[in-house]
Structure formats: C-alpha cells, structure tokens
Structure 1
Amino acid sequence: MAMDAQTQAAPISFPCSGCGGAMAFDSESQTLKCPYCGGEHPIPESDVRPIEHEYDAEDDEESPEATDWGVAQQTIHCESCGGETIIPALQTAGACVFCGSPKVLSQGDKASMRPETMIPFQVSMEEAVASFRAWKKKRWFVPNAFKKGSVKSKLTGIYIPFWTYDADTASSYSAERGDYHYRTVTRTRTVNGKTETYTATERYTVWHRVSGDYGRSFDDILIPASGQYETKLLEKLGNFDLAELTGYKPEYLSGFIAERYSIDRRQGWELAEEQIDAALREEIEGEIGGDEIRGLRIRTGIFNRTYKHVLLPVWNANYSYRSKTYRYMVNGQTGLVAGHAPRSAVKITFFVLVLLAAAAAALYLYVQYG
C-alpha cells in the first residue's frame, strides 16, 4: 500500500549497547561510534560487489526502478525526543533538528530503487574544513583578507546519488585534413617614402580527404543523479575511486543525509552520451592529425550499454563573505575541493593591465622589426 505524504515507516536507529545513545557512522574508524561514551560497533563487511546492469531505454518508463523514490514530503518521528521533522521527498536519511539524534529512514517501498553499492565517508568534517582552507590559499584572484583569514561555514555530510555507465562504441568518420606548408615570397613596402624589396615566409594549407574507423570502450562514466546541487561542482569532485565501492548498508548513512535521485536513468544516459560524443570527436580529431580539420562527420554505433546506481560521499557547505553567500563541496573520499570564492577587483584589474601592456609591447616590436 502506498504511503501518504505525512506518513513513513519507522526510522532505523542504532542505539549504543553501552549507554543507549544514538550511534553515528565514524569516517576515521569506519565503525558506528557513540558520541557520548565513545563506544564503537563494527560494521560487518559487505560481500556485495558492483553489478553492471544492462541498460535498455525502452524499459525506463515501465520499470519500477525508474520511478521516483518518494512523495512530496515525508515525516520523521524521533524516537529519542518525540519530535517530528518534515524532510524533502528526495532525502532518505537525516538527523532530528531538535535533539540531533541521527535517523535512517526504512526503505520499505518496493517501487523505489535503492543503490546496491556506495562509498562510505573516508574524510571527516575536520579534514574537509582543512582541505577547504588549503584550497582557498591557492586561489589567485581572491582578496588577501579572505585567503589568510578564517571562514565560518556549516558542513553537511551528504550521500549523493550517481549513475555510472559503460558502453562499447564503433565509429566511422570522414573529413578533410589540412596540413600547413611554407614558402618564401618576395614583397615590396614603402619606408620613409622609398620602396624596398624584402622576403617573407608565407603559410598555405594543403587539403586532402581522410576516412577511417575508430573503436572505443567507455568504463564508469560518472553522472550526478542529483538536481539539488550545482552540476559543475559535482563534476569537479569526480575523482572518486570506484574500485572502493561496497555494498549498501544503512549503518553508513547514520548521522549523514542521503538523497534520492532526481535525474533518472534515461536522463543520466543522455548526459553520458554527450560525454561519449565529445570524447570520440576529440580522439578522432587526434587520430586524423594535421593542422586543421574541416567537414568532420562521425557515425557511431553504441552497444553493450550497462549502468550502476551508487551513493557517493560529499561534504556540502555554504559560507558568507562580506554579505555574499558562496558554496563549496569536498569529496568525502579523497578530500578534493570544488567551490566558489570571492574575487578581488584590484587583482583582476592589475592582471588585465599586465596583459594589455604585454600585448602593446608585442605589437610595437612587430611594427618596428616585423
């Protein structure tokens, strides 16, 4: 029976066997850890390994896996303090806003697609903050006060859904390849009212037709399945080591937020196909070689398409600087940072002036000695 917008299965919690406190996943020990007495509970290693599922676009609308995971909103009832929290339908885990007790929603709805594998958090909140501090010190065009000063930000650990796609491709191509050649020509010019003859090197292009075949396999094209965050920032965090994927366990979500996908399997494949097309074009252009290419036509067949649906760890943070809000994210496995930072108008102006001065000097030398 489908649940209405205000009801939900009882959340799963992990009480400490020592003091009864709510345990949360600890990235350092990779165990459930009690924040009160420090007790730890090991998480049994999963024997689930990533499975590549065959992708058939025709099944998307009929398959229960492709349906949304939730309703407009859902209620969490905190068994610790009795408080109730309304959270977005796309969120599958959270913490009570009243007492802070971590909760994981039971995923009993058979129509929802639960990720089979995930990467647990490896980077702690303190390590994520340290990575951000190191990141901002390396920014070129930020104010010195921002670079050297402290920034207060609230970090939230989120398991963000991703799709991965594999595919084999076979392409045929045709184009015109242009190769540069050079020859010496004699020219005249007028200097101080006198005509003089000089020699110069002239470039010309020789064109000839080329064609060929190109085969390429793509493995684990990573596509964010979240529409809640800035896609470009998520893509910059894409250095996840997917060899570390392990089986999904609700224990890993305790104390963190997990999001349901809002970009479905078909939309994810369309984004992956764009990456495939761009990669093939670049590689085929390299295969053709030459100095210029024109009229390139590529015809590609794609087969053996497979996909995985995974959860990956990300620290998400917002911070304020001079009354403006900025966002950064930290890869919860590797510590890589992607974000936005304030810009220094003075530094940017100085850089532009240096470039203009260099261009003016080059033009002067060209006029005098070219």
Structure 2
Amino acid sequence: MAVEETTKPKTPVTFPCSGCGGPMLFDSESQTLKCEYCGKEDPIENSDQQPIEHDLDLSETEDPGLTDWGLRTQTVHCEKCGGESVIPQIETAALCAFCGSPKVLVEEDTTSIRPETMIPFQVSLTEAVAGFQAWKKKRWFIPNEFKKGKINSRLTGLYMPYWTYDSETASVYSAERGDYHYRNETRTRVVNGKTETYTERVRYTVWRRVGGEYDCSFDDILIPASVRYDRSLLEDLGNFDLRKLTGYKPEYLSGYIAEKYSVPRQEGWRKAGEKIDDTLRANIRAEIGGDEVRSLNVRTQYYDRTYKHMLLPVWNANYTYRTKPYRYMVNGQTGLVSGTVPRSPWKITFFVLLCVIAAAAAFIFFSQYSG
C-alpha cells in the first residue's frame, strides 16, 4: 500500500483568486501571485526542498514523479517551426511563442520531465520593451526610421529549458612530453662578400613517453535543452546568476510559457560529455607539463552520473520591418538584450568608402614620409 501511495500522481494545482475567483498570475515586480482582475496579491512561499540529482541511467518512465509538473498542463506544437511549449491547460495559444506563427495545435502527449530548479522572472514586460527600445538605438548601420520609430512586437514570457549534469570521472592517459633545450651552434654567413663565422643559440626538443591516471569531479555542467534559437543569440543574453536558483514551484509558471525541451537528456549528456572531455584534456596537458605535448590519448570512465532539469527566464519577441522578419530576446533576470536588426545599405556603403579613403590617405602619407 505504501508503494502505491508514493507512485500515485499528485493532484494538479490551480491558482484562483480568493477574492474574486479570477486567475492569479506570477508578477515579476512583486514576486507574488497577483490577480489580473482585482489586483489581490498572494506571496509565494520559498521552497526549502533541496534539488535532487536524478540518476542519468534511469528513464523517466521508471519514476512517474519526474513528469509531475504540479500544474495541469498541455503541450502545443507549431506546424511552421516545430516548436513545442508547455502551458496551463486552461489557457489557449493562438500564436507560436517561438516564431509568431498562428498555426498552433494542441498535442495529446504532454509527458515531459518537470524542472528541478528555476529562476523566476525578475524583469517585467514593460521593462523588457523599454530595454529593447534603448538597445536598438545603440546599433550600428540601422535605418533612421527604425532607430527612431516604435516597433510593434509581441513579447512572450518564456521559461527556457536547460540540463545540468554531474559526473565522477576516472581517466588513464598516455602522451609524449616535449622539453625545450638549447645549444650553441657554429655557422657561417656571407657579409659584404666576405664569409664570416658566428655562433647561434638553437632550440631543440627532447621527447619522452609519459602516462598516468587522473580523477576529477564535475558539477552542474550547463547545457541548453532547446534547438529553437541561434546559439549566438543565447550567448549574447549573458550569463544567468545561478546563485539565485530556487526550487521549482508551479506558481512561477502561472501566466508564462515553459518551453518543452527539444534536446533529449541523453543528447544533452553527449554535449556535456564533450565539455568534460575538453576540460579533462586541458587539465591533463597541464599536469603533464613540459613545453609541448603530443599524441595525447585519454580513456575516461564516467560514473555516478546525475542530471537536473532547469528553467531560466527569457522574454522572446518577433517583429517585422519592411516585410522582413527579425527576432530579439531579453534576459528575464538581468534585462540584457540580444537580437537581429535591419541594416541600412547606404550607411554601410558610406562607412566602407570612408575606410577606403582613410586607408589610401594613410598609405600616401607614410609613403611620402618613408621617401
């Protein structure tokens, strides 16, 4: 009986207002649940539950609790870009949160691993819009009309999925270590038609075989679990302050969309493994020492592998300028903006001409000065 009770799915949670019965949505400014009708605010209790590291070798079907988001959800799928997101079941999605396409279908299968930790939104919709307006004015070579005008865009509060991985590693390596040595060699050269002898200090490398063992622990290797975005856009968003991570609570998702991860956890582990391997090779090279290392061969065993699913806040927007689509994103914690903007061909051409003229003038000046 005890086993049945622990594996029984939890009752989904909803957040009706105790005052008027309207929906309570998470408010980034007050960090509370706020009724969008009467304005009543309810505080969200801090989660004192410590994040659990889940065994990477177990599947989510072996632990149904891993897929319980604590909120009645549905998955929506975009026919245009293939994006999938998880939204509260009482809400409908008329537009895709990723590409803005109006063709969004409800999917029956909503099973996905729930997040372990998250960073709630700190930046409001108004602050995100203002941040983009200020950001675009500082871009180079953009049309004046775009720079000064108001851009209509639909911002979506989106929790982006990430995986984090931990692993213990035990490596065995072999390589050749090269140490620089120097010796004086006597050589000859011709100067003004005369042969003269001189001594030159010459470097040479002495190689020797080395090998050994190297153990290392890795904690919280962060891997984006989305393939919907340009990697450069995500990198330009800057780093999230993971010290502000809090335990997952469904209240933080009320009124927002959580993207369903499109990078499976095993694929995420492959990417994390590549990062681990690169770090191990760099560390082993440093341990070997010497001036050069060649023919490095590393064989690594991974054990005690665990993972967590994490959500990080991003404002995502699509807009159109002169029939061409563009995108920008705002870090929902720091307010940092990244995106694409239109360019003015006239400004670029004028800048290139100025550079050519400046280079030609500099060449003429230095040619005359040298002469």
TM over 0.5: yes
* Counterpart contact for 1:180–1:204, Cα < 8 Å: yes
The residue aligned with 1:251 is: 251
Query: What's the CA shift string for 1:150-180, capped at 9, x where partnerless?
Result: 5623321111222110112233333334456
User: Alpha carbons of 1:219 and 1:61: their partners in 2 closer, same or farther (altered >3 Å)?
Assistant: closer
Are 2:67 and 2:114, in contact at CA under 8 Å, matched by a contact in 1? no
Q: What's the TM-score, normalizing by structure 1?
A: 0.69
CA contact (8 A) 1:222 1:238 kept: no
Residue 145 of structure 1: how far off its partner (Å): 4.0
> Which residue of structure 1 lines up, in the alignment, with residue 100 of structure 2?
none
Alpha-carbon distance between aligned partners in 2 of 1:270 and 1:66, rounded to the nearest angstrom: 25
Q: Which residue of 1 aligns with 2:224?
A: 224
C-alpha distance 120-219 of structure 1, shift in aligned 2 (>3 A) = same
Q: 1:162·1:311 contact (CA, 8 Å) conserved in 2? A: yes
Q: 283-292 vs 345-354, which deviates more?
A: 345-354
**Identical-pair percentage:** 55
Change in Cα spacing, 1:142 to 1:297, as seen in structure 2 (3 Å) is: farther
Alpha-carbon distance in 2 for matches of 1:66, 1:355: 66
Per the alignment, do residues 60 and 35 of structure 1 end up closer, same or farther by CA in structure 2, a change over 3 Å counting?
Answer: closer
Confirm whether residue 92 of structure 1 aligns to residue 86 of structure 2.
yes
Asked if the contact 1:160/1:258 (under 8 Å) is kept, the reply is yes
SS of alignment partner, residue 163 of structure 1: strand
Shift in Å, 1:36: 3.8
53 and 356 in structure 1: CA distance in 2 versus 1, 3 angstrom threshold: farther
- Listed as ranges, the matches of 1:81-120 within 5 Å are 90-93=84-87, 95-96=91-92, 112-120=112-120
Amino acid at match of 1:156: T
The whole-number CA distance in structure 2 between the counterparts of 1:179 and 1:251 is 60
Name the amino acid aligned to 1:176.
E
Aligned amino acid, residue 228 of structure 1: R
Q: Distance in 1 between matches of 2:142 and 2:291?
A: 41
> Within 1, Cα distance between the matches of 2:216 and 2:358?
41
Letter in 2 for 1:40: E
Return the offset for 1:123: 1.7
Q: Indicate the SS of the match to 2:29.
A: coil
1:269 shift after superposition? 0.8
Alpha-carbon spacing, 1:34–1:303, altered in 2? closer, same or farther (3 Å): same
SS of the aligned residue for 1:122 comes to coil
Q: Counterparts of 1:133 and 1:200 in 2: how far apart (Å)?
A: 67
Corresponding position of 1:271: 271
Post-superposition Cα deviations, 1:255-311, rounded to whole Å, max 9, x if no partner, equal 111122222221111111011112222333344455543222222222221111122
Q: State the distance in 1 between where 2:215 and 2:238 align.
A: 25
In 1, the alpha carbon distance for the partners of 2:199 and 2:343 equals 45
Distance in 2 (CA, whole Å) between partners of 1:87 and 1:13 is 23
Counterpart Cα distance in 1 of 2:30 and 2:173: 53
Cα pair 2:66 2:114 within 8 Å, conserved: no
Residues 1:307 and 2:323 are matched in the alignment: no
Once residues 358 and 180 of structure 2 are traced to their aligned partners in structure 1, the CA distance between those partners, rounded to angstroms, is 29
8 A contact 2:181–2:206 mirrored in 1? no
CA RMSD after TM alignment: 4.5
Q: Distance in 2 between matches of 1:347 and 1:207?
A: 56
Aligned length: 326
Deviates more, 1:254-263 or 1:150-159: 150-159
Task: Report deviation, 1:225.
Answer: 1.9
> Does the 8 A contact of 2:143 with 2:342 survive in 1?
no
Corresponding residue for residue 102 of structure 2: none
Distance 2:353 2:64 in 1: 54
Q: Distance in 2 between matches of 1:343 and 1:110?
A: 41
Equivalent-residue separation in structure 1 for 2:202 and 2:353 (angstroms): 36
- In structure 2, what residue type is equivalent to 1:92? V
Correspondence for 1:79? none
* Runs (5+) with no aligned partner, structure 2: 1-10, 95-107
Within 5 Å, give how 1:1-370 maps onto structure 2: 14-56=15-57, 59-60=58-59, 63=62, 90-93=84-87, 95-96=91-92, 112-133=112-133, 135-136=135-136, 142-143=141-142, 145=144, 148-149=147-148, 152=151, 153-178=153-178, 187-188=189-190, 195=193, 204-209=203-208, 210-234=210-234, 237=237, 239-321=239-321, 323-342=323-342, 345-346=348-349, 349=352
**In structure 2, C-alpha distance between the alignment counterparts of 1:355 and 1:285, rounded to whole Å:** 46
Residue in structure 2 matched with residue 4 of structure 1 by the alignment: none
Partner Cα distance (1:67, 1:48) in 2: 15
Task: Assess if the C-alpha contact under 8 Å between 1:224 and 1:231 holds in 2.
Answer: no
CA distance in 1, matches of 2:279, 2:357: 36
The change in CA–CA distance for 1:160 and 1:293 in structure 2 (over 3 A counts) is same
Contact 2:143 2:343 in 1 (8 A): no
Given that 1:50 and 1:245 are in contact with CA atoms closer than 8 Å, whether structure 2 keeps it comes out as no
TM-score (normalizing by structure 2) = 0.69
Aligned residues of 1:66 and 1:264 also touching (Cα < 8 A): no
